[in-house]
Amino acid sequence: MLFPEPEDTVGRLGTEVKSEGSFSVQFFDGALNWSQKKAVQAVVSKKYGDVPFLIWGPPGTGKTKTCIECIHQIVLGQPGARILACAPSHSAADTLTRQLREFLKPGELLRLNSSTRPFNEVPDAILAYTFTETDDSGKGGKGGEFFSVPPMKALLSTRVVVCTCEDAGILAQCGITNRIIRKTREAFWRNTMSDYGVFCAEVGEEQIQGKLFWSHLFIDEAGQATEPESLIPLSVVASEPLVSKKSVDTVQIVLSGDHMQLGPIVNDSNARELGLKKSLFERLIRRPLYRDHPESRYEPRTNELEDGEIEETGVLDGLTESLVIGDVVAPFANLVRNYRSHPGFLMIPSHLYYNNTLIPAASKALTHSLIGSPLLLNPELPILFYGIEGKDERILHSNGLNESENSSPGWYNSAEALHVRDIVELLLNEGVSVRDIGVMAPFREQVKLIRVLLRANGCGAVDVGTVEDYQGMERRVIILSTVRSRVSFLEGDLQNDLGIVRKPERLNVAMTRAQALFVGVGNPCLLATDPEWVAFLAFFSRNGCYTGSPLPQNIIQESHSGAAGNYGALERARDSALLLESVPQTKWLGAGVGGDSAGFGGGGGGGGEMGVGQSEDDLALDWATAWLGGLELE
């Protein structure tokens, strides 16, 4: 469960889905794509073994949607199943409940809340799925009500219980865990055996004690939960075998998340250094069973030798470990279709964080709705980055902290804040709705300053928050202020987990919230100290989306470099498509077959329109690599 190995899985026996027609499941959600359906089929059939199943879903790929379909299939297809569905936050757990109520009634579905949760935090749509009691002292919510646990009989008949990972501890306090229920059954079996031995011999030991109460555990957004936090629901469903493994049904565990986005919030620096910043989802997906599987998103693993050389790793008892792992059914699913963003917003994140596996699938009516905006330098790509060399300042607190001690996140940048205000005004004048605009900054003090400036201009309804506030959210327009301008404070930011420089997870979240327009504001000289920011700024530069302060030389070189490694598959595919559109069809490869046309490249030796020194086969191979590098084979 916690340290899965290849021997805990199932070997390949021709059971894997190869095409759309191979699915044996009748899906309730007709909008699921192929990778989502494959994940659901794997969970429902459980042909991958007794290890946790991981659903790796990058931004906008439908992780929660996939989990909901899995639960729907299990509830209707397995009458004896009982599911515990958790998430690290109340908002995520409420989202699960809202979607599950589409096919579950009160009594079948319970949204379990702590008694301390305020009533005004709970959406009205799911109140019918909660249980409340009345406090005669009047200390509760409306009318003295407070959230509570339903009577034992009602709780035991519930098919799906939804709660936060922390509130799963309520079930442990009530004794509704697989381990306690199993011990109760064991005691019952022993007493019954002593009195009715013949009856027990006829019924069979496995039927009396073998079934688990909780059959499934789902943890959505598992990448945002600390490992101890995830262990709370795991302790509810875990069970110790009594006689033998054969008499014990194994609980099915499904974790969905994305460890390349923001992880758990851990404020203590010692706790971060000791590893509590790493979620259970991340630790599992980096284990060889998941990481080195041929279907993994990860590239082939390498180790650096003492002399600086790089060699492939994975040799185990004379066999290549990847070959051993390749013989087992993949206990994970990679979601690849992004239903949120304009393709241009995914070109660098897909390349940097997801090994060129993302596929744009959002509606063009939304993602291209601001193409041609007067705000844009490149009317075909809705991205704009303003280079500003402002000054990062900070509020001095009454405890005597000075500017050299940046353990507090009270940093702001007035020049950037004023520029953000002006951008918001321009967008509103273009007719963009206030509800469609989101402004983010990595420091809370900058958030406060931008709010003040917007309110002073009558734009107070615009949503402004930190990058963490926008995790799991999306907006038609996103405006990002990076704030930091002085390199001397970067070390303190790293120590205190602040800022958006050298913070890949925070940067990934910031760059993947926008649907139709992304606008950034920051100091290019400072950002150029981060290799991932260099990749983004170089992309903005070579696509005509950058303006303002001169770019540092390393970004200019990156922008104009012809090395294939500097371009992701989506960007190469787009460039290849534009090249193809610019070439007359009579010049396409093979256009002259059976006719008089020379074909692309001159066919029979005529003069072609290729780059110097580039053969016809090389160009075709480049196109194929560009397209196939970012496409899902279905």
The tens digit of pLDDT for each residue in 113-128 reads 999 999 999 999 999 9
Q: Which residue has the higher pLDDT, 369 or 582?
A: 369
Which string of DSSP letters, residue by residue, matches 277-320?
A: TSBHHHHHHTSHHHHTSTT-SSPPPEEE-TTS-EEE--EETTEE
Burial of 320 (0-12, 13-18, 19+ CB in 10 A): middle
> Does residue 226 register a pLDDT over 90?
yes
Per-residue pLDDT, 318: 31
Phi and psi of 276, rounded to 5°? -70, -10
Three-class SS of residue 476?
A: strand
pLDDT, mean over the chain: 82
DSSP 8-state code for residue 26: -
Per-residue pLDDT, 189: 67
Given pLDDT bands bounded at 50, 70 and 90, which one contains residue 506? very high
Residues in the chain: 634
H or E element: which one contains 38? helix 34-45
Average pLDDT over residues 276-304: 83
Per-residue pLDDT, 163: 97
394 forms beta bridges with 411
Given pLDDT bands bounded at 50, 70 and 90, which one contains residue 452? very high
Average pLDDT over residues 452-458: 95
For the stretch 241-265, pLDDT in tens is: 433 344 446 789 999 999 999 999 8
**Single-letter residue type at 486:** R
Nearest to 186 by CA among 216, 178, 433: 178
Question: Quick check: 520 and 538 in contact, CB under 8 A?
Answer: no
Per-residue pLDDT, 284: 95
Per-residue pLDDT, 623: 41
Task: State percent of the chain over pLDDT 90.
Answer: 60
Per-residue pLDDT, 539: 95
11 forms beta bridges with 328
Average pLDDT over residues 461-470: 95
257 forms beta bridges with 56
> Does residue 319 register a pLDDT over 60?
no
Task: State percent of the chain over pLDDT 70.
Answer: 76
Per-residue pLDDT, 245: 44
Average pLDDT over residues 535-555: 94
Per-residue pLDDT, 196: 58
Given pLDDT bands bounded at 50, 70 and 90, which one contains residue 49? confident
Q: Which residue has the higher pLDDT, 74 or 205?
A: 74
Query: How far is C-alpha 138 from the chain's CA centre?
Result: 42
Phi and psi of 67, rounded to 5°? -65, -40
> Does residue 525 register a pLDDT over 60?
yes
Nearest to 483 by CA among 382, 394, 376, 383: 394
Phi and psi of 230, rounded to 5°? -70, -25
Average pLDDT over residues 548-562: 86
Cα–Cα distances (Å) from 303 to 298, 319, 351, 531, 631, in that order, read 14, 17, 21, 21, 29
Per-residue pLDDT, 209: 52
Average pLDDT over residues 545-568: 83
For the stretch 359-404, pLDDT in tens is: 999 999 999 999 999 999 999 999 999 999 999 998 865 444 444 3
> Does residue 412 register a pLDDT over 70?
yes
Average pLDDT over residues 76-85: 94
Average pLDDT over residues 525-545: 95
> Does residue 451 register a pLDDT over 60?
yes
> Does residue 634 register a pLDDT over 90?
no
Per-residue pLDDT, 630: 40
Question: Quick check: 626 and 578 in contact, CB under 8 A?
Answer: no
Per-residue pLDDT, 99: 96
Q: How many other CB atoms are found less than 10 A from the CB of residue 140?
A: 18
Given pLDDT bands bounded at 50, 70 and 90, which one contains residue 598? very low
> Does residue 557 register a pLDDT over 90?
no
